[in-house]
A and B are shown apart, each in its own frame.
Chain A
Amino acid sequence: MNNLAAIWLTLQLATVTTCILLFFGTVLAWWLSRTKSWAKPIIEAVTALPLVLPPTVLGFYLLVVMSPNSAIGSFWVHLTGSTLTFSFEGLVVASVIYSLPFMVQPLQNAFETVGSGPLEAAASLRASPLNAFFTVAMPLSARGFLTAIVLTFTHTIGEFGVVLMVGGNIPEETRVISIAIYEHVETLQYAAAHSLSLALLGFSFVVLLTVYTLNRRFPIRIR
């Protein structure tokens, strides 16, 4: 029962995080792929930070920023009546930041591969920039979207350090699979740890296998 609650919570977290990042990540990746601004390398570096920083560093700063004593944290308390730290909402915020590069980088790559050629062609056929994005850039980047969504989703499922720092270990609120496994091991419940770990291993492998197989059998044609 304990495990099922953790699995359900994890799936919720990964789904919400992926949906939020699908929007913001796409916007950011699109901007990065088109801009000639001097700020581009700076934004790229910031976006990539979660890849290299220890989760504890990220978690620590997030904890500081989201604590009820900070501006953002107190505003959240004022707005909702509960704290952002040690809550599901707090986990979502942390996951969005932690998984950002996994959404942005494959998308930016895909958009850059599409290039300006097809978009200019779309403009010459009277498609507005937004329309051209949905009808040309997105379909041509389909593989990039698939990769970004899968990586973001699975990476969010697998996160541990940031979640522990920001969310703690509250059943049905912040105790995701990785935390539950950690707790099982701490309390020497190896059987429970085994079943969850195996499930996670199997799930991750099947998802990645599906993606790679799809990529091989239905190559999305991009010149």
Chain B
Amino acid sequence: MLVLDVRASLGDFELEVATSIPLEGITGILGPSGSGKTTLLRVLAGFEKAEGHIFVDDEIWLDTKSKTDVAPHSRSLGYMFQDARLFDHLSVAGNLKYATSRTLSQTKQIVVDDVIDAFDLSQLLKRRPTELSGGEKQRVALARTLLTNPRFLMLDEPLSALDEKRRSDILPYIDKMASQFRVPALYISHAVGEVAHIAGRILAISNGRVQAIGPTSEILERLDLLNVTGRFEAGSVVEAIVIDHVARHRLTHLTIDGQTLTMPMEAGVAPGDHVRVRVRARDVALALIRPESISIRNVLAATIVDLFHVPESPYVEALVEFQQQRLRARITLAAVEDLSLAVGMHVFVLIKSVTFDSSPT
């Protein structure tokens, strides 16, 4: 458990964060640009002076009261920077060795060969960082950080410098880092989709303060956090069970709280698998009666549990519930008034598009 209560000021900006983060799996730190995400990581790393306390399990990293302030190089965390920060005067192998040679032998559980295999680095070992592509640099940086056997990893928007295609190349490696090497991580991003994809838990931050912390699905459906989560691809992540594949239509059937959902076939999953699927709020429409003669395949019955008019916009964010699972829908204020939608009403949810969120759990 990472327990922190810190205050730091940088010029006009004030960071004031008090929270506890379980050190398991990936915790997404989500917030708009300038909300203090990177500052928070820098305070945890000891790169920025702060007051308060930081406890990591039984270790004290910062405690202003007892005048404890552990130097950055003595805090056993891994920091993967936005710009990779490989050492240009060393080869890729030299960069990895820089990490391993400074780690005490009794704490070495993560072995170099395993990491080289896992991140497909064997072809790159002799190269210089300047000869690597952006994606390769990030892979080396991730491997290098892992090799210090940190208590937890901090990843500062590791994908922001990459184009769309390269991002999807790197994400599996980040998944691997958490699953294969079992290193907990704090993952900074301002992109909801990215965080929803890999994080099991989200810390929402804005203006240097914590807005909420909780399971990803819960945070993403909270309408009061729209300023944090809703700026980009607002949506929901729901859990579903695979029923079967329909090869002829290239479709997969899933069940959500007993209702059937159809989506493009995904060969990687098998009947019985528990999966997470992502539905963007703008791909969800609501109807009062079950529509017929319509091309949309997914029509599910649900109840409205929350409605929130996004200030100064034509939109209303609606939250609907099946039995336990919830979904966000973006509809217009005009539609809400025309249909007299209200909390508690039974509606039909029309879902235009569904994507898989991660491999089977």
Q: Taking beta carbons and an 8 Å cutoff, which residues of A are in contact with B?
A: 117-118, 120-129, 131-132, 135-136, 139-140, 142, 220-223
Contact = CB atoms under 8 A, between A and B. Distances in A.
B98 A135 contact: yes
Given A140-B89, A221-B89, A222-B88, A126 B148 contact: yes
B13 to A, nearest CB: 17
B78 A124 contact: yes
B83 interface: yes
A118 B87 contact: yes
Contacts of A128: 71, 73
B190 interface: no
Given A117-B81, A221-B128, A221-B130, A123 B87 contact: no
A6 to B, nearest CB: 40
Contacts of B144: 125
B284 to A, nearest CB: 42
Interface string B71-92: 1111011110101011111000
Contacts of A129: 71, 73
16 contacts: A117-B85, A120-B79, A120-B81, A120-B85, A121-B79, A121-B85, A122-B87, A123-B45, A127-B73, A128-B71, A129-B73, A136-B87, A140-B89, A221-B88, A221-B89, A223-B88
Given A118-B87, A140-B88, A125 B99 contact: yes
B308 interface: no
Interface residues of B, dominant DSSP: loop
Given A120-B81, A123-B47, A127-B98, 18 more contacts: A117-B81, A117-B85, A118-B85, A120-B79, A121-B79, A121-B86, A123-B45, A124-B72, A124-B73, A125-B144, A125-B145, A127-B73, A127-B102, A129-B71, A131-B102, A132-B73, A221-B88, A221-B128
B255 interface: no
A41 B162 CA distance: 40
Contacts of A122: 73, 87, 98
Contacts of A124: 45, 72-73, 77-79, 145, 148
A125 B149 CA distance: 10
Contacts of A121: 79, 81, 85-87
B102 A126 contact: yes
Interface in B140-190: 144-145, 148
B96 to A, nearest CB: 10
Contact of A139 (B76, B78, B86, B89): B89
A132 B102 CA distance: 11
B81 A123 contact: no
Contacts of A142: 89
B298 interface: no
A126 B73 contact: yes
A142 B89 CA distance: 10
Nearest to B85: A121
Contacts of A221: 88-89, 128, 130
Contacts of A140: 87-89
B332 interface: no
B116 to A, nearest CB: 17
A175 B212 CA distance: 77
